[in-house]
Amino acid sequence: MRIWGISKRNLKEIYRDPVLVAFLLGMPIAFMLVFCAAFGGQHVNPTSISIADEDQSLTSSAFIDCIENVPAFKLNEIYTEESQARNDIENGKIPFYLLIPAGFEEANQAQKPISLELAYKKADPMIGQLVKPMVEAATLMFLGISPPINIDLKGTEVEIKNETINFLIPGVIVFGLMVLIFTAASRIAADREDGFLARMLTTPARPWDFILGYSLPLILVLIVSTLIYLGIGITMGLSIIGNIGLAFLIFFLTGLCSIGIGMIVGTLVKSESQSAISWVIIVPLSMISGALMSADGMPTGLKNFANALPFMHAVDASRNVISGCATFSTVLPDLYYLIGWTVVLFTAGIILFRRRMAS
């Protein structure tokens, strides 16, 4: 009978908390919706492709026209020299390019084997594996089954030891910093639940004082966590080719955005258990931002939505900086996004907290 009584009491506590019920039911629904919307569509967005045409012949021009007519591709830039394409890929302007070498027309006329080269950023090794089959299909469609074709994959940063590690670790760090959303929300909600905030509201403290009071300890956690993540990443084989200070700045601003979101969630929920709703925000955002998997195949609408938020910019910028593909000027637009979102989120947190105090 005691077991039954305890069970009834706990069941009542669950269904009396609508936010908790929404979390329990909403998490799997959010997983399904985001996964299906991002990666389960039948129509994949065209992949922007750049071409370095060093052959400059009628055959190479016809081949470029053939690639442009392939629905899977969207022609981006056409270079006359590979050095121009290599410079743009190192500056982060393009993710990859296809090299049509000199002698392409001659080899085609003589029915000799043809070698093309697909150069990509080692910051995203998935690009080569994704694009190579499409280029092969387009080439076979243009040339027929003979002469035989060979497409070589070439990463641009030879100093990187492990391409996969350099792709995954920055995204995992961003995801780890997004967990601060839950940490901040649960801390504020817990203090409201045990009456600490009610007692503090009797003091002359201003809303900004409360926000800073909760933010400063979390900023310390943010700094220490980022250093630990980077240290573990290096131990696992992460090669930091670019400016580590710039990478740290990107992660720092990402953490501030997460703390800002957590402050808003913590102000809105009524109990510590309700702060678990943060995970309904964290997990979908991490998926559509490309933190845990490449976001290249997402539909345009969802990708544009993710691009309007700070975390996709954080993932792309940190990967490009760490792998040596980007400088400060290259990632400056991403930094503006992160700084702007930090200001907006903390301002919104102060306004919401003031309204809570007034009520």
In this predicted structure, what is the pLDDT of residue 248?
Answer: 95
| pLDDT in the model for residue 145 | 45
Mean pLDDT for 176-195 is 82
Grouping H, G, I as helix, E, B as strand and the rest as coil, residue 88 is: helix
Residue 339 is predicted with a pLDDT of 95
* Boundaries of domain holding 126: 47-155
The pLDDT value given to residue 120: 76
Distance set, CA 62 to CA 35, 74, 105, 309 (Å): 38, 16, 10, 40
Same domain (yes/no): 182, 317 = yes
- CATH number of the domain enclosing 151: 3.40.1710.10
* pLDDT for res 147: 43
User: pLDDT tier at 7 (50, 70, 90 boundaries)?
Assistant: very low
Q: Is residue 2 part of a domain?
A: no
For residue 284, being part of any structural domain is answered with yes
- Taking alpha carbons only, the member of 192, 352, 174 closest to residue 263 is 352
pLDDT range class, residue 42, cuts 50, 70, 90: very low
The residue-averaged pLDDT of 353-359 equals: 70
E strands along the chain, which residues? 47-53, 73-79, 96-100, 114-120, 149-155
7, part of any domain: no
Distance (Å, rounded) from C-alpha 254 to C-alpha 258? 6
What span, in angstroms and rounded, lies between the C-alpha atoms of 17 and 145?
65
Average pLDDT value for residue range 341-346: 93
Distances (CA, A) of 130 to 44, 72, 151, 162, 231: 12, 11, 13, 18, 30
Residue 1 in any domain: the answer is: no
268 and 231 in one domain? yes
Q: Is the pLDDT of residue 255 over 90?
A: yes
pLDDT band at 128 (very low <50, low <70, confident <90, very high): low
Q: Could you give phi then psi for residue 41, rounded to 5 degrees?
A: -75, 155
What is the band of 6 on the pLDDT scale with cuts at 50, 70, 90?
very low
pLDDT at 244 over 80: yes
Running DSSP on this structure, what letter comes out for residue 160? -
Average pLDDT (140-149) is 56
Number of domains in the chain: 2
Same-domain check for residues 25 and 168: yes
* 8 occurs within a structural domain: no
- Angle (deg, nearest 10), helices 310-322 and 328-358: 150
Same domain? For 19 and 85 the reply is: no
Q: Choose from 68-77, 161-170, 253-262 the range with maximum mean pLDDT.
A: 253-262
Which amino acid, one-letter code, is at 248? F
**What is the predicted pLDDT for the residue at 195?**
66
pLDDT at 237: 81
State residue 340's pLDDT score: 95
Does residue 36 sit in the same domain as residue 125? Answer: no
| Strand pairing category for 96-100 and 114-120 | antiparallel
Residues 200 and 137 in one domain: no
The predicted model gives 1-13 an average pLDDT of 48
Residue 257 has pLDDT above 90, yes or no: yes
Are 92 and 122 found together in one domain? yes
- Read off the pLDDT band of 114 (50, 70, 90): confident
Q: Residue 78's pLDDT is what?
A: 85
Rounded Cα–Cα distance for residues 225 and 209 (Å)? 24
Asked which of 138, 155, 172 is the last residue of a domain, the reply is: 155
Is 5 domain-assigned?
A: no
The token pair that represents 34 in the structure block? 């985001």
Domain boundary, last residue among 134, 155, 176: 155
Q: What is the dihedral of CA 76, 78, 84, 87, to 10 degrees?
A: 20
- Distances in whole angstroms, Cα of residue 189 to Cα of each of 131, 182, 243, 356: 47, 10, 38, 12
* Whether 253 and 293 share a structural domain: yes
Residue-level pLDDT at 253:
96
Read off φ and ψ for residue 309, nearest 5 degrees: -95, 165
Q: What whole-number distance in Å separates Cα of residue 170 and Cα of residue 229? A: 9
**Mean pLDDT for the chain?**
76
What SS3 class is residue 152? strand
Domain assignment present for residue 322? The answer is yes
Nearest to 120 by CA among 38, 52, 39, 43: 52
Query: Same structural domain for residues 197 and 275?
Result: yes
- List pLDDT tens digits, range 276-317: 888 888 888 888 888 877 776 677 788 888 889 999 999 989
Q: How confident is the model at residue 322 (pLDDT cuts 50, 70, 90)?
A: confident
Domain boundary among 106, 137, 155: 155
pLDDT band of 249, cuts 50, 70, 90: very high
- Whether residue 353 has pLDDT greater than 90: no
Q: Does one domain contain both 90 and 116?
A: yes
**Angle at which helices 244-268 and 207-235 pack, to 10 degrees?**
140
Whether the pLDDT of residue 359 is over 90: the answer is no
Are residues 189 and 150 part of one domain?
Answer: no
Q: Residue 106: pLDDT above 60?
A: yes
Is there a single domain that holds both residue 289 and residue 199? yes
